[in-house]
Structure 1
Amino acid sequence: MPLNAATFDWVRQLVHRESAIVLQPGKEYLVEARLLPVAQKMGLSGVPELVEKVRSRPDPAAMRRIVEALTTNETSWFRDGDPFTALTSTVLPSLVAARGPAERLRIWSAACSSGQEPYTIAMLLQDALPSAATRVQITATDLSSQMVERTRAGRFSQLEVNRGLPAPMLVRHFTRAGSEWEIAPALRRMVTASQANLAAPLAVLGPFDVVYLRNVLIYFDLPTKQAILRRVAKVMRPDGWLFLGAAETTLGVDDSWERVVLGRSSAYRPLKGA
C-alpha cells in the first residue's frame, strides 16, 4: 500500500520537529524504503500501519527509530580527500605552532555516521604527530544512537574498508576480527563518540581547534543552517578551522565566517569580533 499524503506529511513533520531535516515532496519513495524495515521489525504489515500505530499511541522509542531511519548515513574513508590533505599539510602545522607543547588538540567530527571520518582523522594525525595518542582528542557525534555505537565499536566490514581506505593504512592500523576489521585500540582511545542533535542546543562540547561538519547542512533549511553555524562558532576556539562539504558554504548563510583556500580545498574561520 503506497504512502498517502497524510501519512507522508506526518512523517515529514515528525522528522523536521525532531531533527530539523527537511523532507521535500517527492521523497515518499525514500520514506517507504527506509521505514519498511522498521515496520517489519515491529511485526507490522507496512509503513502506513507503522505510522497509524505511532500516531494513535505515541511511543518515543518508535518515533526515535523512525527519525533515525530517515537520517542519511552515507560515508567513506577519506571522503573527498582534499579536506584531509589540508588537515595535515596546513591546519595541523599551524595549530602545533600556535599551541603549547603539552596543550591538547581537540577535533569534532559532527555527524560522524559509522565512524569512518573520525578514524580517518585519527590515522592521519597519528602518522603525522608522534604525540597524537596522548595529545589529540577527537569527539564524534551523530543523531543516530546506532551510528554512535558503531563508531565506539570501531569495527568495519570488508565492503566498508574497501571504500576509500588505502591498503597500507589497513595493514598498519587494523587487525582482523572474524569477518570484520577492527581499528587499533590506540586510535579507538583517541575517539569519544556520543549522540547529539545539531539542530538542538549542544551539550557541553569544545572548545575545538577543528570541526568537520561535512555534507550535513544540505539537509536543512536556511534558518536551521544559520542556527547550527552559530552553535558551532560558540564551541570553536577563535583561531579554529571549520570544514564543510564540497557543496556547502557559509557564504550567503552566515557572514561571521572567513573562507580560506587550502590547496584544492577550503576551510572557514570565525571572523574576529563577529
Structure 2
Amino acid sequence: MQLIASPVHVLQELVGCRSVSTDDAGQHAAMEKIVNILEKNIGAKVTLISTAGKPAIFATVSGDRPEALLFYGHYDVMTPGDLTQWKSDPFTLVKRDQRFYGRGTGDNKGQLVATLTGISNFLNHHPELPYTIQFLIEGEEEQGSVNLPELVRSQKDGLLRHVQKVFVTDGSMNASGAHVLRLGNRGLFGLRLTATTATHANHSGNAGNVIANPVNVLHEVLDQLYDFSNQHVLIPGFYDGVNAPTLKSCLG
C-alpha cells in the first residue's frame, strides 16, 4: 500500500474529470481514479455495484471484526452553469486567496480526497484494524440519489449487512473556519396535492356563472397545513417530541 504523496495533485486530477450527469466519460474517469486510490493507497477490496443509473463504488478494508464503519460520498458534480461567472476554468483546480477553486472542490471531491488521504495515513501507522472500514461512493447524488434507496435495499443483507455506523463525507466547514461534526442529517418530506374541480370543460354561465378555481382550492388546503404569518406548521402532532430552541442554541 502506497501513501498518497500529494493530495493536492490527486484533487487536481479528480477535479479535471468532468463528472457531471451528462458526461459519461467524465464520470467514468472520476470513478476509475477513486477506485485506483482505494486499491493502491488504502488496500481496499473494491466492488462496482450496478444500478439503473450510474454505478456505485463499494470498498472494504477488513479488520479483526466484521462490524463496519461506512464512509459515504459521491463522485458526480453539478454542472458549472454560466461559465462567464467563473474566474477560472471550473474543471481546473486553482488556488486563490488561500482557497482552492474548481467544480467539486467543496462538493464532494475535496472532502473525498481529504477522507481517503486521512484513512491512508491512518492505515500506514495502524495496519491492524479492530473493525472493518467500508466505503460507498455513488454517482447520482447531485440528481437526488434516485437509485440509492434501491441499492441499499438490495444490499442490506449482502455487502452492507455489517454496517454499524455511517459517516457522510459530504459536509462543509463552519463560516467561522471551524470544523463541523454533524451527528445527524436533515430529512426530506414531500407530498403532492391535486385539486380537481371538474371532469370536463364547463361553460361558466351554464355552471352557475363562477366555478371553483383549483388554484384557490389548493390555497385553502395550504392554509390549513401551514400558518404563513407565524411560520408554523398546523398539522396535528407535527411538533411532538421537538424541543423548543433555547437562547443559547439560537445564538450558537
Where on the TM-score scale, by shorter chain, does this alignment land: which range? under 0.3
Compare the two structures and name the one with the higher strand fraction: 1
Q: Which has the higher contact order (CA 8 A, sep 6+)?
A: 2
TM-score between both structures, scaled by the size of structure 2: 0.24
Compare the two structures and name the one with the higher helix fraction: 1
Which of these two proteins has the greater Rg computed from alpha carbons? 2
TM-score between both structures, scaled by the size of structure 1: 0.23
